[in-house]
Amino acid sequence: MEGSFTPPTIAGSGGSGFSGGPPPMPPPPTPPPTPPPVAPFPWEEPGRSIGSALFETIRLIVTSPSEAFARMPLNSELLRPVLFALIVGMIGVVAQTVYETLFSAVFTRLLPMFADKSDAMFGAVGGVIGLFFAPFFIPLFLAIGAGITHLMLMLLGGGRQGWTATFRVASYSMVSSLFMLIPIAGGLLNFVASLIFQTHGLAVVHGMSRGRAFVALFLPLIVCCGCFMLGMLVFGTAMLAGFKDLWNQ
């Protein structure tokens, strides 16, 4: 009918007019994905054979030291790290002894006028004695070295995981001893690789920068070199003073 008014339909009565309730709530956010579990450290993985664990640990530390030490347990158990250090360390000691004996024999044969056979014999005997005592000295030097390094870490504001974590890093960084299998350059490569592995390990374990970790490792060497140079300077000054007194007499 012309001029009549039709009221709007109310929501809930089947129409599509105005809604009398609150607006619909948005769906809840999707929870973040669960991070994958950290892979176990090969050398300390239960049920793994010694050969497989040794090979995988060496490969992991050499190719990806940061990942290796991130997977390394931080418990107080030290037998497994010491055993690993003894295995790889003895390989390096044996290689060094064999090469020194061979080079001494070659030098004696090629240049007999400059070689002393007694020195070669004493060198061989000393190598055998070194092989015998190496299993005792390796853990001892590791403990002393880890103590000095951890002291440097604390002076630099690090070392929050304790001495055992530093000792574990030093023990597994002994994988650098395998570079002693390379003739002539093995000693230098062993030193450089050990610094690299320990720098990565200390940075990851103690939550610090690699720069500070490197300084903590290198600072004792700088102090030792400084003390040596100071001693040489004092000795040289005393020698010059002595020669001057003799000259003036």
pLDDT, the chain, mean? 83
The predicted model scores a pTM of 0.75
Residue 136: both structure tokens together = 């005792």
What is the percent of the chain where pLDDT is above 90? 51
Residue 103: both structure tokens together = 């080079």
Residue 42 pLDDT: 94
Residue 114 pLDDT exceeds 80: no
Q: What is the pLDDT of residues 147-182, one digit of tens each?
A: 999 999 999 888 889 999 999 999 999 999 999 999
Residue 53: both structure tokens together = 């664990």
Fill in the amino acid letter for 63.
Answer: T
Least confident of 5-9, 96-100, 114-118: 5-9
Cβ 165 vs Cβ 207: under 8 Å: no
Neighbours of 153 (CB within 10 A): 25
Neighbours of 120 (CB within 10 A): 15
Q: Averaged over 59-86, what is the pLDDT? A: 95
pLDDT band at 245 (very low <50, low <70, confident <90, very high): low
Q: Averaged over 121-150, what is the pLDDT? A: 87
> Residue 114 CA to chain centroid, in angstroms?
42
User: In angstroms, what CA-CA distances link 84 with 56, 81, 91, 170, 193?
Assistant: 12, 5, 11, 11, 17
Cβ 222 vs Cβ 90: under 8 Å: no
Neighbours of 42 (CB within 10 A): 19
Neighbours of 175 (CB within 10 A): 28
Q: Which residues contact 140 (CB under 8 A, 6 or more apart)?
A: none
**What DSSP line would sit under the chain, residue for residue?**
-TT---PPPPTTTT--S---SPPPPPPPPPPPPPPPPPPPPGGG-TT--HHHHHHHHHHHHHH-HHHHHHHS--SS--HHHHHHHHHHHHHHHHHHHHHHHHHHHHHHHH-TTT--HHHHHHHHHHHHHHHHHHHHHHHHHHHHHHHHHHHHHHHTT--TT-HHHHHHHHHHGGGGGGGGGSTTTHHHHHHHHHHHHHHHHHHHHHT--HHHHHHHHHHHHHHHHHHHHHHHHHHHHHHHHHHHHHHH-
The answer for 53, left when phi > 0, alpha when psi is -120 to 50, beta otherwise, is alpha
